[in-house]
């Protein structure tokens, strides 16, 4: 079974797309060393491998440095975090030289714990030796250590809404000195029902502040929220005709729902050294797919909302470091997560929301690296596939699987229990055990 079919017309496309706009020309000539950044920030950028700004960085940095409000819409994997992290660190470093205070000056609100940690890592990496202290708070763990860090003083706080409001109500976070508010992955926060939390937050903040609003998508509700928060903003929209990165080869295979595990097993075994991120629709399904892989001696980790925070962080760490090659995740847990060198993204289940398809496959092909995304589409999911194709504006390449190859994939599986009644009993037992553990927690 040939999983990836490279685009035969790539060279032709490279030639026809050779002409550059004036904006592209300016961006390609611009280097980070040409910006008015401090020596410490420039050294950190060099160490992190930053040479030239991406499109969203090129368009965002100057307005942010000038103190403008910014409303930015850009697809995943475009370098959004650095687009606001770099200028904010510079602004606060200048401010810290002039007036040394321990008050929180910038707050970054994000929808998930994993994203909070990821953004915190970027701020700490780019802010090393600048005197700017960054810390993140989120739920799912004891708050004592977080409180101790808050009391020691910091400049930038990255937070998920629930834990942040808990600490505000207890008097451990004071928002009256905030100079910069950043909302990242705003569309996802609205999906998770955080709009009331965001509006409540505004009541605690000074009216005179800089607001940066970053989102992957824009619709009427997001636009209404954005314009209620920003003041005469600079609007930036990076929306290529094809929302899928050119670095990604994406395709779809027609596979029966009950046969998907055999094809996932084959893909993993044919690519033993590759990092593979698998997306499923529900938490229970993540555990079931993981169990199915374990039965054929494939070790995986799962990432979803019912996992303890310690387990989630451990799973991400092992996957990032390549100790575990396969991570099975739900949309909520993996949204916005940047993991280096993911060669394959597998849509084991097609997403219910078509925009999540773009977010999912954006976990591969990041930066200048190529990646592959493969979707398993069962007959029940044909409508979802049509919605996805309408959203991205083109048909997804179909992997044609000969009937003999299809049957061989099932026949050569390492699955020893072919009796469906036995498998069903195992699945029911695993689900019962999982629910007992969840209830106990």
> Model confidence at 76, in pLDDT bands (50, 70, 90)?
low
Same domain, 266 and 227: no
Distances (CA, A) of 168 to 142, 275, 364: 16, 40, 37
Q: Which residues of 125-138 are buried (b: 16+ CB within 10 A; e: fewer)?
A: ebbeebebbbbbbb
Q: Are residues 287 and 145 in the same domain?
A: no
Query: Is position 118 within any domain?
Result: yes
For 263, the domain range is 248-431
428 falls in which pLDDT band (50, 70, 90)?
low
Residues 268 and 227 in one domain: no
Let me know whether 297 and 184 are in one domain: no
Q: 3-state SS of the chain: helix, strand, coil percent to 5?
A: 45, 15, 35
User: What whole-number distance in Å separates Cα of residue 88 and Cα of residue 106?
Assistant: 8
Question: pLDDT tier at 25 (50, 70, 90 boundaries)?
Answer: very low
pLDDT, residue 367, reads 66
pLDDT band at 6 (very low <50, low <70, confident <90, very high): very low
Least confident of 62-66, 69-73, 236-240, 252-256: 236-240
pLDDT for 10 beyond 60: no
Share of the chain above pLDDT 90, in %: 45
In a domain, 439, yes or no: no
Q: What is the chain's mean pLDDT, rounded?
A: 83
Extended strands (E) in 146-221? 156-159, 180-183, 210-215
* Residue 271 covered by a domain: yes
The percent of residues in the chain predicted with pLDDT above 70, rounded, is 83
Contact 104, 175 (CB under 8 A): yes
Mean pLDDT for the stretch of residues 146-175: 89
Residues 214 and 259 in one domain: no
Are residue 298 and residue 222 in the same domain, yes or no? no
The more confidently predicted of residues 276 and 244 is 276
User: Both 282 and 214 in a single domain?
Assistant: no
pLDDT digits (tens, 9 = 90+) for 201-257: 888 889 899 999 998 777 787 888 888 888 889 999 886 555 666 778 999 999 999
* CATH number of domain containing 36: 3.40.50.300
Residue 399: which H helix or E strand, with range? strand 397-399
Q: Is residue 213 part of a domain?
A: yes
Better-predicted residue by pLDDT, 438 or 405: 405
The answer to whether residues 301 and 407 belong to one domain is: yes
C-alpha 357: how far from chain center: 12
**72 inside domain:** yes
pTM of the shown model: 0.69
DSSP state of 208: S
Q: Of 214, 238, 262, which residue sits at a domain end?
A: 238
Q: Are residues 323 and 290 located together in one domain of the fold?
A: yes
Is the pLDDT higher at 419 or at 92?
A: 92
- Residue that finishes a domain, picked among 169, 204, 238: 238
Q: Look at residue 8 and tell me if it is in a domain.
A: no
**Residue 302 reports pLDDT greater than 90:** yes
Q: Find the length of the chain.
A: 441
| Domain assignment of residue 372, yes or no | yes
- Of 59-68, 362-371, 379-388, 394-403, the range with the lowest mean pLDDT is 362-371
> In this model, does residue 337 exceed pLDDT 60?
yes
| Mean of pLDDT values over 158-183 | 90
**CB-based contact 277:337 (threshold 8 Å):** no
In this structure, are 126 and 73 located in the same domain?
yes
How high is the pLDDT of residue 4?
42
Same-domain check for residues 231 and 186: yes
Are residue 228 and residue 283 in the same domain, yes or no?
no
What DSSP string runs through 273-327? TSEEEEE-SSHHHHHHHHHHHHHTT---EEE-TTS-HHHHHHHHHHHHTTSSSEE
> pLDDT band at residue 27, thresholds of 50, 70 and 90?
low
Output the pLDDT for position 87. 97
Q: Is residue 364 part of a domain?
A: yes
Average pLDDT over residues 349-355: 89
pLDDT at 2 over 50: no
Using the 3D structure, point to which of 220, 238, 256 is the last residue of a domain. Answer: 238
Number of independent structural domains in the chain:
2
């Amino acid at each position: 079974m040939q999983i990836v079919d490279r685009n035969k017309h790539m060279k032709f496309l490279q030639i026809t797309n050779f002409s550059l706009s004036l904006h592209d020309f300016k961006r390609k000539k611009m280097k980070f060393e040409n910006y008015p950044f401090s020596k410490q920030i420039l050294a950190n950028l060099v160490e992190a491998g930053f040479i030239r700004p991406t499109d969203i960085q090129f368009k965002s940095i100057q307005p942010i440095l000038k103190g403008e409000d910014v409303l930015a819409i850009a697809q995943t994997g475009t370098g959004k975090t650095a687009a606001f992290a770099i200028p904010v660190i510079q602004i606060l470093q200048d401010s810290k030289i002039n007036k040394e205070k321990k008050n929180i000056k910038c707050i970054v609100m994000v929808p998930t714990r994993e994203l909070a940690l990821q953004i915190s890592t970027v701020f700490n990496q780019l802010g090393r030796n600048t005197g700017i202290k960054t810390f993140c708070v989120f739920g799912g763990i004891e708050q004592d250590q977080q409180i101790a860090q808050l009391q020691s003083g910091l400049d930038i706080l990255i937070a998920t809404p629930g834990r942040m409001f808990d600490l505000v109500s207890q008097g451990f976070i004071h928002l009256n000195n905030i100079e910069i508010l950043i909302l990242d992955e705003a569309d996802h926060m609205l999906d998770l029902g955080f709009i009331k939390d965001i509006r409540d937050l505004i009541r605690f903040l000074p009216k005179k502040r800089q607001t940066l609003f970053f989102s992957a998508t824009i619709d009427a509700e997001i636009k209404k929220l954005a314009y209620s928060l920003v003041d005469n903003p600079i609007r930036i929209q990076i929306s290529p005709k094809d929302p899928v990165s050119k670095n990604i080869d994406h395709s779809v295979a027609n596979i029966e729902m009950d046969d998907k595990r055999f094809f996932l097993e084959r893909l993993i075994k044919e690519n033993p050294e590759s990092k593979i991120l698998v997306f499923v629709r529900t938490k229970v399904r993540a555990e079931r797919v993981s169990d199915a892989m374990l039965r054929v001696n494939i070790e995986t980790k799962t990432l979803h909302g019912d996992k303890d925070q310690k387990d989630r962080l451990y799973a991400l760490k092992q996957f990032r470091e390549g100790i575990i090659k396969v991570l099975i995740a739900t949309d909520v847990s993996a949204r916005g997560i940047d993991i280096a060198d993911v060669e394959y993204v597998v849509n084991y289940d097609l997403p219910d929301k078509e925009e999540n398809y773009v977010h999912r496959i954006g976990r591969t092909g990041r930066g200048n690296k190529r990646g592959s995304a493969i979707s398993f589409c069962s007959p029940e999911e044909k409508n979802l596939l049509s919605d996805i194709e309408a959203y991205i504006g083109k048909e997804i390449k179909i992997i044609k699987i000969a009937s003999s190859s299809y049957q061989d994939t099932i026949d050569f599986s390492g699955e020893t229990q072919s009796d469906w009644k036995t498998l069903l009993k195992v699945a029911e037992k695993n689900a019962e055990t999982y629910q007992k553990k969840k209830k106990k927690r």
